[in-house]
Structure 1
Protein backbone atom coordinates (compact mmCIF):
# COMPACT_ATOMS: atom_id res chain seq x y z
CA UNK A 1 0.00 0.00 0.00
CA UNK A 2 2.92 2.35 0.58
CA UNK A 3 3.46 2.80 -3.15
CA UNK A 4 0.17 4.56 -3.91
CA UNK A 5 1.44 8.08 -3.28
CA UNK A 6 4.73 9.91 -3.35
CA UNK A 7 5.06 13.11 -1.31
CA UNK A 8 6.96 16.06 -2.68
CA UNK A 9 7.83 19.44 -1.20
CA UNK A 10 8.18 18.02 2.30
CA UNK A 11 10.32 20.38 4.33
CA UNK A 12 11.28 18.23 7.33
CA UNK A 13 11.38 14.70 8.66
CA UNK A 14 8.60 15.55 11.13
CA UNK A 15 6.40 16.78 8.28
CA UNK A 16 7.14 13.65 6.26
CA UNK A 17 6.17 11.43 9.20
CA UNK A 18 2.96 13.38 9.74
CA UNK A 19 1.99 13.22 6.06
CA UNK A 20 2.83 9.51 5.94
CA UNK A 21 0.57 8.89 8.91
CA UNK A 22 -2.27 10.90 7.33
CA UNK A 23 -1.89 8.91 4.13
CA UNK A 24 -1.76 5.64 6.08
CA UNK A 25 -4.97 6.46 7.91
CA UNK A 26 -6.68 7.38 4.64
CA UNK A 27 -5.50 4.09 3.15
CA UNK A 28 -6.86 2.08 6.06
CA UNK A 29 -10.28 3.56 5.46
CA UNK A 30 -10.06 3.19 1.68
CA UNK A 31 -9.16 -0.49 1.99
CA UNK A 32 -11.89 -1.06 4.60
CA UNK A 33 -9.43 -2.09 7.31
CA UNK A 34 -11.59 -1.25 10.30
CA UNK A 35 -9.79 -2.92 13.19
CA UNK A 36 -6.16 -1.88 13.39
CA UNK A 37 -3.21 -1.38 15.67
CA UNK A 38 -1.09 1.49 14.42
CA UNK A 39 2.51 1.06 15.53
CA UNK A 40 4.58 4.22 15.21
CA UNK A 41 8.27 4.61 15.78
CA UNK A 42 7.77 8.36 16.26
CA UNK A 43 7.34 9.25 19.91
CA UNK A 44 5.94 12.73 19.24
CA UNK A 45 3.15 11.61 16.88
CA UNK A 46 2.19 8.82 19.26
CA UNK A 47 1.88 11.30 22.13
CA UNK A 48 -0.03 13.84 20.01
CA UNK A 49 -2.66 11.19 19.25
CA UNK A 50 -2.85 9.65 22.71
CA UNK A 51 -2.56 12.85 24.79
CA UNK A 52 -3.55 15.79 22.59
CA UNK A 53 -4.22 18.17 25.51
CA UNK A 54 -0.59 17.88 26.58
CA UNK A 55 0.52 18.88 23.05
CA UNK A 56 -1.51 22.08 22.34
CA UNK A 57 0.92 23.28 19.66
CA UNK A 58 -0.11 20.27 17.56
CA UNK A 59 -3.86 20.81 17.78
CA UNK A 60 -4.28 21.32 14.02
CA UNK A 61 -2.38 18.10 13.28
CA UNK A 62 -4.39 16.22 15.91
CA UNK A 63 -7.68 17.43 14.41
CA UNK A 64 -6.66 16.09 10.98
CA UNK A 65 -5.46 12.78 12.41
CA UNK A 66 -8.56 12.36 14.56
CA UNK A 67 -10.81 13.07 11.58
CA UNK A 68 -9.25 10.09 9.78
CA UNK A 69 -9.23 7.88 12.85
CA UNK A 70 -13.00 8.35 13.20
CA UNK A 71 -13.39 6.45 9.92
CA UNK A 72 -11.84 3.37 11.51
CA UNK A 73 -14.19 1.26 13.63
CA UNK A 74 -11.59 0.19 16.22
CA UNK A 75 -7.99 1.35 16.56
CA UNK A 76 -5.08 1.53 18.94
CA UNK A 77 -1.88 3.52 18.61
CA UNK A 78 1.30 2.19 20.16
CA UNK A 79 4.89 3.38 20.21
CA UNK A 80 7.15 0.75 18.74
CA UNK A 81 10.86 0.61 18.08
CA UNK A 82 11.87 0.67 14.41
CA UNK A 83 13.81 -2.57 14.83
CA UNK A 84 10.57 -4.49 15.43
CA UNK A 85 9.40 -3.71 11.90
CA UNK A 86 12.67 -3.97 10.03
CA UNK A 87 11.14 -5.25 6.79
CA UNK A 88 8.83 -2.25 6.36
CA UNK A 89 11.74 0.11 7.00
CA UNK A 90 13.91 -1.67 4.43
CA UNK A 91 11.11 -1.59 1.83
CA UNK A 92 10.64 2.15 2.26
CA UNK A 93 14.39 2.76 2.20
CA UNK A 94 14.82 0.65 -0.93
CA UNK A 95 11.92 2.32 -2.75
CA UNK A 96 13.22 5.78 -1.92
CA UNK A 97 16.88 5.11 -2.75
CA UNK A 98 16.10 3.04 -5.83
CA UNK A 99 14.01 5.81 -7.36
CA UNK A 100 10.95 3.57 -7.49
CA UNK A 101 7.57 5.22 -7.69
CA UNK A 102 4.12 3.63 -7.88
CA UNK A 103 5.20 0.50 -9.74
CA UNK A 104 7.45 -0.78 -6.94
CA UNK A 105 4.92 -3.07 -5.25
CA UNK A 106 3.09 -4.01 -8.46
CA UNK A 107 6.36 -5.19 -9.98
CA UNK A 108 6.96 -7.51 -7.03
CA UNK A 109 9.94 -5.73 -5.55
CA UNK A 110 13.57 -6.84 -5.69
CA UNK A 111 14.75 -10.40 -5.09
CA UNK A 112 16.40 -9.51 -1.75
CA UNK A 113 12.98 -8.50 -0.44
CA UNK A 114 11.42 -11.87 -1.21
CA UNK A 115 14.35 -13.61 0.47
CA UNK A 116 14.03 -11.33 3.50
CA UNK A 117 10.36 -12.24 3.92
CA UNK A 118 11.13 -15.94 3.54
CA UNK A 119 13.91 -15.74 6.13
CA UNK A 120 11.72 -13.79 8.53
CA UNK A 121 8.90 -16.31 8.11
CA UNK A 122 11.25 -19.17 8.92
CA UNK A 123 12.71 -17.45 12.00
CA UNK A 124 11.10 -18.24 15.34
CA UNK A 125 9.51 -15.18 16.90
CA UNK A 126 10.92 -13.79 20.09
Structure 2
Protein backbone atom coordinates (compact mmCIF):
# COMPACT_ATOMS: atom_id res chain seq x y z
CA UNK A 1 0.00 0.00 0.00
CA UNK A 2 1.05 3.57 -0.44
CA UNK A 3 0.85 6.21 2.29
CA UNK A 4 -2.83 6.81 1.45
CA UNK A 5 -3.74 3.14 1.90
CA UNK A 6 -4.10 2.36 -1.81
CA UNK A 7 -2.96 -1.15 -2.71
CA UNK A 8 -0.14 -0.88 -5.24
CA UNK A 9 0.67 -4.58 -5.54
CA UNK A 10 -0.48 -7.86 -4.12
CA UNK A 11 1.12 -11.24 -4.54
CA UNK A 12 1.04 -14.91 -3.78
CA UNK A 13 3.89 -17.38 -3.63
CA UNK A 14 3.38 -21.11 -3.57
CA UNK A 15 6.06 -22.90 -1.56
CA UNK A 16 6.79 -26.56 -1.11
CA UNK A 17 9.17 -28.79 0.80
CA UNK A 18 9.47 -26.52 3.79
CA UNK A 19 10.37 -28.13 7.09
CA UNK A 20 8.11 -25.99 9.29
CA UNK A 21 6.07 -22.80 9.61
CA UNK A 22 9.12 -20.80 10.74
CA UNK A 23 10.92 -21.63 7.50
CA UNK A 24 7.82 -20.55 5.57
CA UNK A 25 7.86 -17.17 7.36
CA UNK A 26 11.59 -16.81 6.63
CA UNK A 27 11.31 -17.64 2.93
CA UNK A 28 8.14 -15.57 2.58
CA UNK A 29 9.82 -12.49 4.01
CA UNK A 30 12.88 -12.92 1.77
CA UNK A 31 10.55 -13.19 -1.21
CA UNK A 32 8.71 -10.03 -0.14
CA UNK A 33 12.02 -8.17 0.13
CA UNK A 34 13.15 -9.42 -3.29
CA UNK A 35 9.78 -8.53 -4.84
CA UNK A 36 9.92 -4.95 -3.58
CA UNK A 37 13.44 -4.55 -4.93
CA UNK A 38 12.54 -6.02 -8.32
CA UNK A 39 9.66 -3.53 -8.55
CA UNK A 40 12.10 -0.72 -7.68
CA UNK A 41 10.42 0.21 -4.42
CA UNK A 42 13.12 2.01 -2.42
CA UNK A 43 11.21 3.06 0.71
CA UNK A 44 9.13 0.34 2.30
CA UNK A 45 7.45 -0.69 5.53
CA UNK A 46 7.12 -4.45 5.96
CA UNK A 47 4.34 -5.56 8.29
CA UNK A 48 4.79 -9.12 9.56
CA UNK A 49 2.86 -11.33 11.95
CA UNK A 50 5.78 -13.46 13.13
CA UNK A 51 7.29 -12.03 16.33
CA UNK A 52 10.52 -14.05 16.07
CA UNK A 53 11.10 -12.80 12.54
CA UNK A 54 10.48 -9.16 13.43
CA UNK A 55 12.56 -9.23 16.62
CA UNK A 56 15.46 -11.15 15.09
CA UNK A 57 15.58 -8.59 12.26
CA UNK A 58 15.39 -5.54 14.51
CA UNK A 59 17.48 -6.86 17.45
CA UNK A 60 19.68 -9.65 16.05
CA UNK A 61 22.05 -9.78 19.05
CA UNK A 62 19.11 -10.63 21.33
CA UNK A 63 18.07 -13.53 19.06
CA UNK A 64 21.25 -15.62 18.51
CA UNK A 65 19.36 -18.75 17.47
CA UNK A 66 18.07 -16.78 14.45
CA UNK A 67 21.51 -15.50 13.43
CA UNK A 68 21.38 -16.98 9.92
CA UNK A 69 17.96 -15.44 9.22
CA UNK A 70 19.05 -12.09 10.68
CA UNK A 71 22.12 -12.00 8.45
CA UNK A 72 20.11 -12.87 5.35
CA UNK A 73 17.53 -10.18 6.09
CA UNK A 74 20.23 -7.62 6.87
CA UNK A 75 21.98 -8.24 3.55
CA UNK A 76 18.72 -8.08 1.58
CA UNK A 77 17.46 -4.94 3.35
CA UNK A 78 20.70 -2.98 2.72
CA UNK A 79 19.57 -2.39 -0.84
CA UNK A 80 16.70 -0.10 0.24
CA UNK A 81 17.01 3.65 0.79
CA UNK A 82 14.73 3.32 3.81
CA UNK A 83 12.90 0.42 5.40
CA UNK A 84 11.02 -0.45 8.55
CA UNK A 85 9.53 -3.67 9.85
CA UNK A 86 6.46 -3.72 12.09
CA UNK A 87 4.78 -6.46 14.06
CA UNK A 88 1.07 -6.68 13.24
CA UNK A 89 -1.69 -9.07 14.14
CA UNK A 90 -3.69 -10.84 11.46
CA UNK A 91 -6.81 -8.74 12.05
CA UNK A 92 -4.97 -5.58 10.93
CA UNK A 93 -4.64 -6.89 7.37
CA UNK A 94 -7.92 -8.55 6.44
CA UNK A 95 -7.30 -8.07 2.71
CA UNK A 96 -4.14 -10.17 2.77
CA UNK A 97 -5.90 -12.85 4.81
CA UNK A 98 -8.80 -13.01 2.34
CA UNK A 99 -6.40 -13.27 -0.61
CA UNK A 100 -4.53 -16.12 1.09
CA UNK A 101 -7.79 -17.94 1.84
CA UNK A 102 -8.94 -17.47 -1.74
CA UNK A 103 -5.81 -18.87 -3.39
CA UNK A 104 -5.60 -21.67 -0.82
CA UNK A 105 -9.24 -22.67 -1.31
CA UNK A 106 -8.77 -22.57 -5.10
CA UNK A 107 -5.58 -24.67 -4.79
CA UNK A 108 -3.65 -21.99 -6.69
CA UNK A 109 -0.13 -23.29 -7.18
CA UNK A 110 1.07 -20.56 -9.53
CA UNK A 111 2.91 -17.70 -7.83
CA UNK A 112 2.12 -14.19 -9.04
CA UNK A 113 2.49 -10.47 -8.41
CA UNK A 114 -0.38 -8.26 -9.57
CA UNK A 115 -1.13 -4.55 -9.68
CA UNK A 116 -3.62 -3.21 -7.12
CA UNK A 117 -5.89 -5.67 -5.33
CA UNK A 118 -8.45 -8.18 -6.57
CA UNK A 119 -11.60 -6.30 -7.62
CA UNK A 120 -13.76 -8.39 -5.29
CA UNK A 121 -11.99 -6.64 -2.39
CA UNK A 122 -12.80 -3.07 -3.55
CA UNK A 123 -15.18 -2.44 -0.65
CA UNK A 124 -12.81 -3.74 2.01
CA UNK A 125 -9.87 -1.63 0.85
CA UNK A 126 -12.07 1.45 0.36
CA UNK A 127 -13.17 1.08 3.99
CA UNK A 128 -9.56 0.66 5.16
CA UNK A 129 -8.58 3.83 3.26
CA UNK A 130 -11.48 5.67 4.91
CA UNK A 131 -10.26 4.58 8.35
CA UNK A 132 -6.65 5.60 7.55
CA UNK A 133 -7.69 9.08 6.38
CA UNK A 134 -9.98 9.71 9.40
TM-score grouping bracket, smaller chain normalisation: 0.7 to 0.9
**1:78 and 2:74 are equivalent in the alignment:** no
Alpha-carbon spacing, 1:122–1:45, altered in 2? closer, same or farther (3 Å): closer
Question: SS of 1:125's equivalent?
Answer: helix
Partner of residue 66, structure 1:
74
Alpha-carbon spacing, 1:119–1:39, altered in 2? closer, same or farther (3 Å): closer
Pairing of 1:1-126 with structure 2 (within 5 A):
1-3=10-12, 5-102=13-110, 114-122=119-127, 124-125=130-131
Question: SS of 2:55's equivalent?
Answer: helix
8 Å CA contact retained: 2:14, 2:111:
no
Structure 1 residue 118 displacement after superposition: 2.2
Q: List runs of 5+ in structure 1 lacking aligned partners.
A: none
Question: SS of 2:85's equivalent?
Answer: strand
8 Å CA contact retained: 1:28, 1:72:
no
Flag as ranges the 4+ runs of structure 1 deviating above 6 A.
103-106
Q: Which has the higher helix share?
A: 1
Higher relative contact order (CA 8 A, sep 6+): 2
Q: Which has the higher strand share?
A: 2
Distance 1:116 1:16 in 2: 25
TM-score normalised to the size of structure 1? 0.83
Q: List runs of 5+ in structure 2 lacking aligned partners.
A: 1-9
